[in-house]
């Protein structure tokens, strides 16, 4: 890394241009930021991060924090070496990566984001001046500035990960996390040994929950939400594994997947529940179900706070490929996509009630004539008659129920 004594000095004009460019960066354009996120989470090596909603959200927050940190430093001191970013967003992300068993290769996201940021920064520089000498000075110093800042930040975060990894190798929490990891991976570990390390019996019924905060804040609400889910299930105890700064993995020794009205008191907490299962296989499968439900809520940017796998199984299957899902919705529903919620819900209930308008009216607590009017309106909006395509229409409407 370049030593501060050798750091190049900008001319007065170069400092003015650098400051103006940094101000433009701070006025973030959404398309720039989305390009940054997409690049940082792309690639095979980043799949474990990209597929985990909590880790992916943490990476996005880290991208934004890095961009703002570098730009703000250059507004204050244009062209000077920018200190490494050790903001809470990055340190929490580092802890989460270690807790999920990932190594420093996950920091590749910072390097990939650097490439996108550099291309955007060059666009800004060419808009600021067309003077060759000024442009050369600006690009030379900024290239060094961006690369050194990322190097220093990666080094700082790497040290944090080493510290976190050392802490995780000690104590009961480390044993519990290691045992859960082995069980979920199907590795050979005896039931008796796992139960001792977990302090939780693996015989009998289990229902798994993932409780997380999409914003990465209000982590104090996660524990309260876990208690609410446990009470709703009628369980007297639970197994809890801290999966990150903003995520808990929970198992309840019950055979039900309840919904708790108390969750409304914890708006930052989101909950995904798996299907109940039995013994070690059920312990594993219920958690994987919860993971699927969690990913679907995140993928659809769903406003729902709570989801059971049994409720979202069809929608999760249909939305695995987002672009194909959007095409399916458009082809199947046509203008019904933009219809009011009451009309869409009436059509979905009508299909579920096997075309019986009277039972549909009872389910919706409305008059039969109202149901018929809504169905007639839907018939005008659908590309094909409902009677000819009822199953596909119902499936598409089920996806819309969960999509934000």
The answer to whether 210 and 246 have CB atoms below 8 angstroms apart is no
Provide the CATH number for the domain around residue 107: 1.10.490
- Residue where one domain finishes, among candidates 129, 152, 168: 168
- Region 244-270: mean pLDDT is 86
Q: Are residues 209 and 140 in the same domain?
A: no
The one-character DSSP state at 262 is G
HSE at residue 107, side-chain half, CA atoms within 13 A, is: 20
Q: Are residues 228 and 293 in the same domain?
A: yes
Q: Are residues 85 and 188 in the same domain?
A: no
Q: Are residues 37 and 156 in the same domain?
A: yes
Q: Are residues 155 and 45 in the same domain?
A: yes
Q: What angle do CA 269, 271, 272 make, to 5 degrees?
A: 155
* Digit-coded pLDDT (tens) for 274-313: 999 999 999 999 999 999 999 999 888 888 899 999 989 9
HSE at residue 341, side-chain half, CA atoms within 13 A, is: 6
Cα gap 273→100, rounded to integer Å: 20
What 3-state DSSP class applies to 206? strand
- Region 334-360: mean pLDDT is 92
Q: Are residues 204 and 230 in the same domain?
A: yes
Residue position matching structure tokens 């203008």: 335
- How many domains is the chain partitioned into structurally? 3
The radius of gyration of the chain from alpha carbons, rounded to an integer in Å, stands at: 26
Sign of the dihedral through C-alpha 334, 339, 343, 348: positive
pLDDT at 276: 95
Q: Are residues 228 and 337 in the same domain?
A: no
Pair of tokens at residue 284: 């594993």
The answer to whether 135 and 125 have CB atoms below 8 angstroms apart is yes
Q: Are residues 159 and 189 in the same domain?
A: no
Q: Are residues 48 and 161 in the same domain?
A: yes
pLDDT at 123: 92
Residue 55 CA: distances (Å) to CA of 95, 97, 105, 244, 385: 10, 7, 14, 8, 43
Provide the CATH number for the domain around residue 269: 3.30.70
Q: Are residues 13 and 160 in the same domain?
A: yes
- Region 78-101: mean pLDDT is 83
- Region 117-135: mean pLDDT is 92
pLDDT at 6: 82
Enumerate residues 6+ apart whose C-beta is below 8 A from 60: 37
Residue 171 has pLDDT above 80, yes or no: no
The answer to whether 400 and 337 have CB atoms below 8 angstroms apart is yes
- Residue where one domain finishes, among candidates 140, 168, 196: 168
Pair of tokens at residue 109: 């996201």
pLDDT at 283: 95
Q: Are residues 13 and 131 in the same domain?
A: yes
Residue position matching structure tokens 């241009």: 17
pLDDT at 5: 54
The DSSP bridge partners found for residue 208 are 251
pLDDT > 70 fraction of the chain, expressed in percent and rounded? 95
Q: Are residues 297 and 327 in the same domain?
A: no
Query: Which region, left, alpha or beta, applies to residue 255 given φ > 0 means left and ψ of -120 to 50 means alpha?
Result: alpha
User: CB-based burial of residue 74 (10 Å sphere; 0-12 exposed, 13-18 middle, 19+ buried)?
Assistant: buried
* Digit-coded pLDDT (tens) for 236-248: 899 998 887 788 9
Most confident of 20-34, 183-197, 356-370: 356-370
341-347: long-range contacts, CB 8 A cutoff, minimum separation 24: 342/374, 343/374, 343/377, 343/378, 344/378, 344/397, 344/400, 345/397, 346/371, 346/374, 346/375, 346/378, 347/374, 347/375, 347/378, 347/386, 347/393, 347/394, 347/397
Cα gap 73→71, rounded to integer Å: 5
Parent domain of 360 = 322-402
- Residue where one domain finishes, among candidates 168, 199, 221: 168
Provide the CATH number for the domain around residue 328: 1.10.10.2840
pLDDT at 1: 43
pLDDT confidence tier of residue 219, bands split at 50, 70 and 90: low
The answer to whether 224 and 269 have CB atoms below 8 angstroms apart is yes
pLDDT at 168: 62
Pair of tokens at residue 210: 């993932």
């Amino acid at each position: 890394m370049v030593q501060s004594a050798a750091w190049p000095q900008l001319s007065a004009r170069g400092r003015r241009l650098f400051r103006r460019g940094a101000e433009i960066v701070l006025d973030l354009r959404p398309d720039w930021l989305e390009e940054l996120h997409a690049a940082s989470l792309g690639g095979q090596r980043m799949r474990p991060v990209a597929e985990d909603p909590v880790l992916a959200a943490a990476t996005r927050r880290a991208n934004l924090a890095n961009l703002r940190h570098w730009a703000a430093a250059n507004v204050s001191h244009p062209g000077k070496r920018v200190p490494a970013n050790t903001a809470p967003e990055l340190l929490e992300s580092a802890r989460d990566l270690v807790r999920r068993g990932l190594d420093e290769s996950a920091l590749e996201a910072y390097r990939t984001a650097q490439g996108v940021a550099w291309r955007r920064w060059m666009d800004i520089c060419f808009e600021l001046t067309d003077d060759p000498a000024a442009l050369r000075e600006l690009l030379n110093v900024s290239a060094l500035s961006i690369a050194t800042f990322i190097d220093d930040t990666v080094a700082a975060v790497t040290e944090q990960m080493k510290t976190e990894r050392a802490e995780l190798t000690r104590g009961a929490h480390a044993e519990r996390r290691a045992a859960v990891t082995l069980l979920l991976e199907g590795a050979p570990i005896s039931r008796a040994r796992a139960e001792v390390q977990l302090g939780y019996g693996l015989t009998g019924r289990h229902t798994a929950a993932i409780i997380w905060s999409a914003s990465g804040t209000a982590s104090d609400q996660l524990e309260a939400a876990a208690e609410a889910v446990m009470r709703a299930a009628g369980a007297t105890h639970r197994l809890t594994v801290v999966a990150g700064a903003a995520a808990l993995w929970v198992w309840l020794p019950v055979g039900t997947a309840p919904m708790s009205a108390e969750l409304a008191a914890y708006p930052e907490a989101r909950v995904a529940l798996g299907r109940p299962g039995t013994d070690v296989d059920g312990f594993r499968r219920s958690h994987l179900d919860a993971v699927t439900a969690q990913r679907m809520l995140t993928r659809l940017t769903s406003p729902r706070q709570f989801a059971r796998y049994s409720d979202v199984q069809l929608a999760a299957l249909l939305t695995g490929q987002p672009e194909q899902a959007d095409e399916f919705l458009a082809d199947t529903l046509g203008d019904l996509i933009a219809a009011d919620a009451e009309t869409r819900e009436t059509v979905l209930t009508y299909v579920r009630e096997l075309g019986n308008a009277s039972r549909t009216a009872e389910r919706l607590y409305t008059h039969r004539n109202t149901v018929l009017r809504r169905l007639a309106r839907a018939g005008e909006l659908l590309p094909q008659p409902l009677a000819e395509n009822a199953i596909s229409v119902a499936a598409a409407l089920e996806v819309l129920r969960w999509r934000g």
